[in-house]
Structure formats: structure tokens, C-alpha cells
């Protein structure tokens, strides 16, 4: 690596290039948020000294065209759980601070806000959430000369980097766990109808993963979209148990139902887990706070949000190719699943 003089204040991108590492590695060396080998730390610190890099220097923004702001596009639609969305927002904001970036929150669901902030150089890069299968915002974002990452997997990402939890894999893991316990009639309580109608990718992928895995295991699938309220849950359970008496297990991909699910199962004459086993796909904080901990496949909001920011920062060097990254699911057994009772 060559020493070089600069007439402008160095940025974290310059340090990463000089050290031959990613920008996220430089960030971790500075923040201490992750263990870094002694050798790598010394290489990065040496590069910082050569470039006279000062991460807190206000002159850095003035000496370049960078705004030191990342945009976060997160439409607050009626069919999304705001509490879960805010976990992702928190992850993005806290990670951005390790890169000395502020975050501009855009809550409109059209492309106008994206065009405005990118054309006026208000942000250095963008993270976009709540992606739909054929999302019109993706085309607009792809046409802009800004590093961008999608939290979600559209049918055609148009060359943009994407990161998300593997919702299809989560549903697959849930079916496999229940099938191993002997359950042969499994119902899926999914996202609200509006999420499925607009083809939110997390809703589509979870449902498709459930259907495909049931088919491969010879299990007749039952799926019901459900609003996150008592009235919709009662109707959903009425439908499941009146038409499918032999159902012995539920997979719930709708965290808003969890506080009221146990009571509603009791009202339908089912005890948990003796009569009905339940696996939920939800944030661990939601599932683990119950009096009886749910068997859960946790949605890792912090990990996804952190990865999105790291990928945007790495894409500041536009030569870096686009990346598609899925975070693998992990099942944590709670007290809501057990061996299926003999039928008949």
C-alpha cells in the first residue's frame, strides 16, 4: 500500500481503500462493536494515521460533496406492525452512527421522496424497507446514482443490493420441526390480507415456504390471512377448526396475534400445546416476553438493519458488485410445541 498525500480531509472510504478492507471493518475498529484481529486493527490504524483521518472532524463534510446522511425509506402502512418496523429503524440508526452518519427518515410510500432526496444530494445512500414483489420504487432507486440497499427481495432488484431474513426458510424450518413431532395437519396464520394483496415480499415468501414444505412432506396445507385483532383471530380459528377438525399445529407469522392467541385457543376448547402446538415467526423480544415462552423462529431485526447499513457503506465504492444476502433462520424451542397427540 502506498502512502499518499491528500488535499482534502480523508473519509472512512479512503481509510478502507488504503487498508485494503471494507468500510464496515474500519467502523468496527473505531467502535469496538465487533472483535477484530490484532493484525487487521494495526493495518487500519496505520492507514488512519497516514491519511490523518479524524472521524469526528466537521471539516470532513465540508471538504467533500458528502452530506454524511443516509436515507431510510420506510412507509408506515396500516398493515405493518409499527413496533417491529421500529426495531429495524433502530438498527439502521445505531449502525449508521458508527459510521458517523445521520439518518433521514422517509415515510411516504411513493417514489417522489426518493427522487427529491437523491436529486438534491440530501443523502449519501439509501436503505429502503417494506419491499413488494414488483415494487415501483425499485426502478426509480436503481436509476439514481446513489448507493442503495433494499431490506427485502423483489422479483427483480435491478442491480441493487438486497438483504433480508430468510422468511421462506423460516416457514420451512417451522414445518420441519412440527412434522418431526408427528404433526400432519398444520395451519398457517399469516400476515394481514392487505400485505398479501400488495405482495409484500416477507408475507409472500413465508407463505410460499410453508406451502412448498407442506407439499414435500405430504402435508395438506391450510393457510389463513389474518388481521392483528381479536375479531379477525376468532374468525380465523373458527374457519380452521370448523373445517379442519384434525389440525394439531399452527405456524403464526403475525406477531400482533401472540398476546391474544392463547386465550382464543382456550375459548375454542384447545389447550396449548397439548391440543395445538404453535411455532411463531416473530421478533424474539415479542415471543420471549410471554408468560409461556413461544417456540419461535426469531426475526433478527438488528442483524438485518446492521447488514443493510454496512452494505450501503461498502457500496460507496461503486465498483463493488451488488449483493443478495439472506440471513438464515434459527428455531428456539419454547413451551408451545410438543409431540402430536394420537388421532382417532
In a domain, 340, yes or no: no
Do 153 and 270 belong to one domain?
no
The residues, any chain, with a CB within 8 Å of residue 327's CB and separated by 6 or more, are 163, 164, 165, 166, 300, 303, 304, 307
Tell me which residue range forms the domain holding 223: 167-299
User: How far is residue 246's CA from residue 291's CA, in Å, rounded to a whole number?
Assistant: 27
Q: What's the predicted TM-score (pTM) here?
A: 0.81
Beta strands 69-73 and 102-106, pairing class: parallel
Residue 341 lies in a domain: no
Say yes or no: 123 and 136 in one domain.
yes
Q: Of 40, 61, 82, which closes a domain?
A: 61
Cβ neighbours of residue 313 closer than 8 Å, sequence gap 6 or more:
12, 13, 22, 23, 24, 27, 99, 125, 147
Torsional sign, CA 10, 14, 18, 23:
positive
Residue 209 lies in a domain: yes
pLDDT tens by residue, 146-173: 899 999 999 999 999 999 999 999 999 9
Is the same domain home to 171 and 289? yes
Same domain, 214 and 322: no
Query: Residue 211 belongs to a domain with what CATH number?
Result: 3.40.50.2300
- CA triplet 86, 87, 93: central angle to 5 degrees? 80
**250 φ/ψ angles, rounded to the nearest 5 degrees:** -125, 140
User: How far apart (Å, rounded) are the C-alpha atoms in residues 162 and 320?
Assistant: 14
pLDDT of residue 59: 41
Sequence-distant (≥ 6) Cβ neighbours of residue 344 within 8 angstroms: none
- What does the pLDDT look like over 106-151, one tens digit per residue? 987 777 778 888 777 789 999 999 999 999 999 989 888 889 999 9
147 and 293 housed in the same domain: no
73, 103 Cβ separation under 8 angstroms:
no
Does some domain include residue 45? yes
In order, the DSSP letters of 327-343 are EPP-EE--SS--PPPPP
On average, the pLDDT of the chain sits at 88
Answer yes or no: do 273 and 314 share one domain: no
- Report the alpha-carbon distance of residue 238 to residue 159 in Å, rounded: 45
Q: Is residue 335 part of a domain?
A: no
Flag whether 333 is in a domain.
Answer: no
- Domain count of the fold of the chain: 3
Q: Is the dihedral of CA 320, 326, 332, 335 positive or negative?
A: positive
Residues 129 and 220 in one domain: no
* Predicted confidence band of residue 204 (pLDDT cuts 50, 70, 90): very high
| pLDDT score at 274 | 95
CATH code of 37's domain? 1.10.260.40
Amino acid at each position: 500500500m502506498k502512502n499518499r498525500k491528500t488535499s482534502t480531509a480523508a473519509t472512512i472510504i479512503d481509510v478502507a481503500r488504503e487498508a485494503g478492507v471494507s468500510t464496515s471493518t474500519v467502523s468496527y475498529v473505531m467502535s469496538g462493536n465487533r472483535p477484530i484481529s490484532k493484525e487487521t486493527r494495526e493495518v487500519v490504524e496505520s492507514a488512519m494515521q497516514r491519511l490523518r483521518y479524524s472521524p469526528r472532524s466537521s471539516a470532513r463534510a465540508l471538504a467533500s460533496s458528502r452530506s454524511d446522511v443516509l436515507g431510510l425509506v420506510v412507509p408506515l402502512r396500516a398493515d405493518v406492525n409499527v413496533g417491529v418496523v421500529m426495531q429495524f429503524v433502530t438498527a439502521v440508526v445505531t449502525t449508521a452512527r458508527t459510521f458517523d452518519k445521520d439518518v433521514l427518515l422517509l415515510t411516504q410510500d411513493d417514489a417522489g421522496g426518493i427522487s427529491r432526496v437523491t436529486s438534491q444530494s440530501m443523502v449519501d445512500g439509501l436503505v429502503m424497507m417494506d419491499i413488494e414483489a414488483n415494487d415501483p420504487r425499485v426502478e426509480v432507486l436503481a436509476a439514481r446514482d446513489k448507493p442503495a440497499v433494499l431490506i427485502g427481495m423483489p422479483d427483480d432488484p435491478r442491480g441493487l443490493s438486497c438483504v433480508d431474513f430468510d422468511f421462506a426458510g423460516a416457514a420451512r424450518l417451522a414445518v420441519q420441526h412440527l412434522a418431526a413431532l408427528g404433526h400432519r395437519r398444520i395451519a398457517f396464520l399469516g400476515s394481514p390480507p392487505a400485505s398479501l394483496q400488495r405482495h409484500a415480499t416477507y408475507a409472500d415468501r413465508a407463505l410460499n415456504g410453508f406451502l412448498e414444505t407442506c407439499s414435500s412432506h405430504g402435508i395438506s396445507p391450510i393457510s389463513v390471512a389474518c388481521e392483528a385483532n381479536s375479531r379477525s383471530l376468532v374468525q380465523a380459528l373458527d374457519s380452521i377448526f370448523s373445517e379442519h377438525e384434525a389440525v394439531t399445529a399452527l405456524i403464526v407469522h403475525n406477531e400482533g396475534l401472540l398476546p391474544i392467541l392463547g386465550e382464543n385457543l382456550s375459548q375454542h376448547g384447545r389447550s396449548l400445546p397439548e391440543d395445538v402446538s404453535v411455532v411463531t415467526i416473530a421478533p424474539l423480544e415479542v415471543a420471549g416476553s410471554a408468560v409461556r415462552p413461544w417456540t419461535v423462529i426469531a426475526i433478527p431485526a438488528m442483524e438485518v438493519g446492521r447488514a443493510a447499513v454496512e452494505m450501503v457503506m461498502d457500496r460507496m465504492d461503486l465498483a463493488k458488485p451488488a449483493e443478495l444476502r439472506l440471513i438464515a433462520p434459527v428455531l428456539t424451542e419454547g413451551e408451545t410445541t410438543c409431540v402430536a397427540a394420537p388421532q382417532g
